[in-house]
Amino acid sequence: MPFPNKYRSIIIASILVVIIFIVLSLVLKSSDETSFFRKVVLEIVVPLENVVNSALEGIHKGWDRYVFLVGLEEDNKKLREKVSSLTNEVRTYSETHLECMRLRKLLNLQESFQSQTIAARVIGRERSSIFKTILLDKGTSDGLKVGLPVIAVGGVVGRIIDVSWNVSKVLLFIDYNSNIDALVQNSRVQGILQGSGNKGCVLKYVQRLENVNVGDAVVSSGLAGVFPKGLLLGTVISVDKEETNLFQKISVDPSVDVSKLEEVLVIVKKEVKDK
């Protein structure tokens, strides 16, 4: 098997040095005076020895560099693993912080209510384009039942339409089957807020002559007995008063982004007023 070119000169030089030392061991005798032949040999050996030493030193340095690089790669691997671990920890801490912030807001909302409420987590969503519902991790074993209103920090979420021992299904207020008695907060104009799916909601049955403006807040009226009075439903984003229609066409932007819900409150008992 042929030697690589980079080692060939080193091997040849090494062989020559060995041969020279053999010759020296045979011809050189101890003497007080250096002979001409010994002088010639010394003149030849010293440069060759320098070459060999330089080559060996280069090999030694190359080996040390290789060992250093192997150790450096191992250190880099450990550092990458450490960075990955720290990144995961930071991500976990950030998620925990965000959850704490949400729960703090929910707790403040709960404390501001005179009604009895139960906190629940969203554990599922209806992916169908027809029905807009979510699933909660609480059921009859927690005191929930069909018809109870569900709210979040931003306002109304919907009402429970189905319940088992540990799971409840909530019909979101943006669903087409959702109808909530509502009123415009500024003008006190009453109407029915109906869900329009991904388009939000519409405020129906408001007569054309009534005063409704873009930017007005729409809240629950409390008349149907499901939602307490004054819960925020949304904001008016468009008003169309066609002369040919008896009622206005009012579009409402929901106050709660139901696609991002993670925790909610279920109102299990309404406020009891002092007699």
Is 264 found in the same domain as 134? yes
The per-residue pLDDT for 195 is: 93
- 48-51: long-range contacts at Cβ-Cβ below 8 A with a sequence spacing of 24 or more? 48/13, 48/16, 48/17, 48/20, 49/17, 51/13
Total domain count, the chain: 2
Q: Specify the range with the lowest mean pLDDT, choosing from 36-40, 181-185, 211-215, 266-270.
A: 36-40
The dihedral through the CA atoms of 252, 256, 257, 258 has a sign that is: negative
Residue 163's domain spans which residues? Answer: 116-269
Is the residue at 56 inside a domain? yes
Is 121 found in the same domain as 17? no
Is 225 found in the same domain as 166? yes
Mean pLDDT over residues 110-121, rounded? Answer: 81
pLDDT tens track for 133-158: 999 999 999 999 999 999 998 899 99
Asked whether residue 274 carries a pLDDT value surpassing 50, the answer given is no
Is the residue at 164 inside a domain? yes
Asked whether residue 229 carries a pLDDT value surpassing 70, the answer given is yes
Is the residue at 190 inside a domain? yes
Is 247 found in the same domain as 120? yes
Strand-strand pairing, 155-163 and 133-136: unpaired
